[in-house]
Chains A and B, each alone.
Chain A
Amino acid sequence: NAGVTQTPKFQVLKTGQSMTLQCAQDMNHEYMSWYRQDPGMGLRLIHYSVGAGITDQGEVPNGYNVSRSTTEDFPLRLLSAAPSQTSVYFCASQGLTSPLHFGNGTRLTVT
């Protein structure tokens, strides 16, 4: 099993550009979420989903959109990138009885 797969691993954007971070899981997990990791801040929840067609905001949702059209995929969209969105982004999934599984992360730099 691949587990949780994130693409790309690295990305550099200019301010104002948009992009989508991809996340896919092959464990048939109901729950998926996006976190950002910043020094001294730990991981903060951006958006999460409890199943296909259902999403909700986390602690820091501004500037990000998500959708969950299938159980497997949970893309994160940056509509207009800002330097404050420079971070490492982690996607995670979880089944009813399993712990949270993380992807390898996407390191995003916005100049």
Chain B
Amino acid sequence: AQRVTQPEKLLSVFKGAPVELKCNYSYSGSPELFWYVQYSRQRLQLLLRHISRESIKGFTADLNKGETSFHLKKPFAQEEDSAMYYCALSGLGNTGKLIFGQGTTLQVKP
């Protein structure tokens, strides 16, 4: 079964602390993995996609096929990072269809 799991509903850290938002997936083929972010009362926005291998707003994520994980990391959290983060999966060729995890709320305290 295709599934994305984000084990933490809420992650609370202090400003300047490292952040790791966990994401594990289950997929039989070759997936494409994404991280989307939703700031308060705003639309979901793409943060990262694994094929781009880039760093956005200081966040990085590496696809680990052995552990079927795509954890989102940032070395020093900022208050403006507070938001809901969703990990999502798409099968190659299944454009327009994403399977989302349950989401993790990141709260960065001053």
A interface, CB within 8 angstroms of B: 4, 30-33, 35, 40-45, 48-50, 58, 90, 92-94, 96, 99-100, 102-105
Contacts and interface: CB of A to CB of B under 8 A. Distances in A.
Nearest to A104: B43
A58 B97 contact: yes
Contacts, number: 56
Given A50-B96, A94-B96, 8 more contacts: A33-B97, A40-B9, A41-B102, A42-B101, A48-B96, A94-B95, A100-B36, A104-B42
Contacts of A49: 96
Interface residues of B, number: 22
Contacts of B97: 33, 45, 48, 58
Interface of B: 4, 6, 9, 34, 36, 42-46, 49, 86, 88, 95-103
B102 A42 contact: yes
